[in-house]
A = this chain, B = another copy of it.
Amino acid sequence: MEINGVKIDDTFAEAFPIKVSRVLITAITERWAVEAAREATGFGTSVIMCPAEAGIECIVPAEETPDGRPGVYIMICNMGWKNLEASLLARIGQCVLTAPTTAVFNGLPGAEKQFDTGKKLSYFADGYQCDLERYGRQLCKIPIMEGDFYTEQTLGAVDGIAGGNFYILAQNQAAALTAAEAAVDEIRRKKGTITPFPGGVVASGSKVGSKYKFLKASTNAAFCPSLREDGVCVLPEEVTAGYEIVVNGVSREAIEDSMRAGIKAACRVPGVLKITAANFEGKLGPHHFHLHKILE
């Protein structure tokens, strides 16, 4: 298969189950909503050594939020409900409650799993908290220095998928990186997914395991252009750099939609030679995303 002359490998991305919460942050301007969202989703690329995987899902206009202010949906992902609940409490409490002019709403109000994170946060008010209904939602009000902070009492979560991915292989680093940026440009408009790595891009794609027993993951040597002389690099001669785009999502469909948009965008960039994906013989997880099926 080819798109714009770029070869699409007949392979699949291997992904794993993860718990996903989705939170809507609103603020007085889009800029401040984004500031809060960035802080709340930072240090959140991979559960290997980050306390969670997190990212900005998309920005929504005032007319799509309960309080009629601009909003940003974020996703926070973790292994197991307990870890996820702890991540929500810490990240929303330390990075959104503290951020100027923000409010917090449940991004998955219909989900079966609901955490009472907002209720727990309200103890910060030291006895001055109160519950109220507004916009058809159950909120807590927390008096703070800037005025009153409002958060929905519960935040929902679902069984999602982490590690959806594709690799962009190119003639040189700048072509691969420009294609990665173009791919992320499209994915960050899509609902239901995030690209948790810095700027949405992974420079150091990894394989499961390592020759060192204390490491869970190590450089994906087969895709390292500078290891060609060592005989471990399997890349075509003309590829000198590659990036990985990792996509987490609330559902298989959301991830497929984002992968499709991202791959198409990447293939429009001159110098991109090949799209492939990473899989690990089932060591990472049970979910498969076949590139050809997604793109047909």
Contact = CB atoms under 8 A, between A and B. Distances in A.
Interface of A: 28-32, 35-36, 38-46, 48-51, 54, 61-63, 67-70, 89-91, 93-102, 123-128, 142-149, 167, 170-182, 185-186, 189, 197-199, 201-206, 210-212, 214-215, 217-221, 223-227, 230, 232, 240-244, 261, 264-265, 268-271
Contacts of A206: 124
B144 A98 contact: no
Contacts of A94: 43, 45-46, 48-50
Contacts of A149: 203-204
A61 B59 CA distance: 13
Nearest to A186: B62
Given A185-B30, A219-B128, A147 B98 contact: no
A238 to B, nearest CB: 11
B43 A98 contact: no
25 contacts: A28-B178, A31-B181, A32-B177, A39-B199, A45-B98, A48-B94, A49-B94, A50-B95, A51-B51, A68-B268, A69-B182, A70-B185, A99-B198, A99-B201, A100-B199, A126-B218, A127-B211, A143-B221, A144-B203, A146-B176, A147-B226, A147-B240, A148-B226, A173-B270, A175-B175
Where chain A touches its partner, the secondary structure class is mixed
A144 B199 contact: no
Nearest to A267: B68
A99 B198 CA distance: 5
Given A90-B50, A177-B174, A269-B28, A146 B241 contact: yes
A210 B142 CA distance: 14
A67 to B, nearest CB: 8
A198 B210 CA distance: 37
Contacts of A124: 204, 206, 210, 215, 217-219
A267 to B, nearest CB: 10
> Max chain B CB contacts within 10 Å: which of A35, A126, A211?
A126
A72 to B, nearest CB: 12
A210 B96 CA distance: 20
A68 B263 CA distance: 12
Nearest to A206: B124
A201 B209 CA distance: 41
A178 B186 contact: no
Nearest to A239: B145
A162 to B, nearest CB: 14
> Max chain B CB contacts within 10 Å: which of A49, A144, A167, A227?
A144
